[in-house]
Amino acid sequence: MYQLHLPIPPLRPYIENYWILKTQSSDMMPLQEAIFVDGRADILFNFGVAYQRGHPHLNSTPIPFSNVDAQRTYPVSIHQTGAIHLIGVRFRVGGLAPFIPHPLYQLSDSVISTSDIFGRAIDELESKLYEAQLIDQIVLLDAFFMQSLRLRDSYRMVMDITRKLVSPDKTIQQISHDVGYSIRSIDRFFRDDIGFSPKFYARILRIERAIQLMMTASNLTMIELALQLGYYDQAHFSKEFKDFTGQTPIAYRAQLLQKLPNPAPNLVQFLQE
């Protein structure tokens, strides 16, 4: 269903993949995806029908235009029926920051027209993508992002901190000491280059570890999973998991197993690790 392509090597620290999904209206196979909170932004070039973007506490919103769907603090659902033609750019955590002049926190929880972020240059790219063949589309995307790439002075340090946070034994206080910046400064750098605080990112990492365990250790009970992840009890785990995925752990695991033969782009990284 999805066609996934890697960017050229210099872009891979920032862009996880490009993906393409194209169907005919006669197929009548609706697209339905549940996107958990993972700290990543996406660009979606939409050449087909509008899709519905669902929010846990609001009515779903039709999105007919190409957009930047920035890093989120809530899960979303995607539903699209009819002639689907999407080209997506899946960024890594903080991966959007090197391509835009704005601090990333200004975009958090927003869906913004691509031209409002990148200007006329991305409108020209979109026109070329629509006309091009697949191999040329990847070349066009690579060229656009290479030309847009600009690293802020703080970026490499922030990426180093994200790698340190993957270890559950590392606290923000220890990392602050390691890198020689105050916790307040680290928080500011993080919001600029990641879009939210280190503390929130640490919560994302714990939910991602839960999803990985669901895929690799499906025999674990929910209480075993909760305790292994460091939660006080199953109730605390279930509440946080639902806040980040929109579903209970049991319901999400059942859906996850169904998706494994043809995973959405946001799940591919877990299959590769």
**CATH code of the domain in which 133 resides:** 2.60.120.10
Same domain? 26 vs 118? yes
Q: Which residue, 203, 272, 258, is CA-closest to 231?
A: 203
| Tens-binned pLDDT, residue by residue, of the chain (273 aa) | 789 999 999 999 999 999 999 887 656 567 888 899 999 999 999 999 999 999 888 888 999 999 999 999 999 999 988 889 999 999 999 999 999 998 999 999 999 999 999 999 999 999 999 999 989 999 999 999 999 999 988 899 899 888 888 876 778 888 888 888 898 999 999 999 999 999 999 999 999 999 988 888 878 888 999 999 989 889 999 999 999 999 999 999 888 888 777 778 887 765 555
Q: Which residues of 185-205 are buried (b: 16+ CB within 10 A; e: fewer)?
A: ebbbbbbbbbbbbbebbbbbb
Contacts of 57 by beta carbon, 8 Å cutoff, 6+ apart: 74
Same domain? 76 vs 188? no
Burial of 128 (0-12, 13-18, 19+ CB in 10 A): middle
> Considering its fold, how many domains does the chain have in total?
3
Same domain? 127 vs 188? no
pTM for the structure as a whole = 0.92
Same domain? 142 vs 212? no
pLDDT in tens, 218-252: 788 889 999 999 898 899 999 999 999 999 999 99
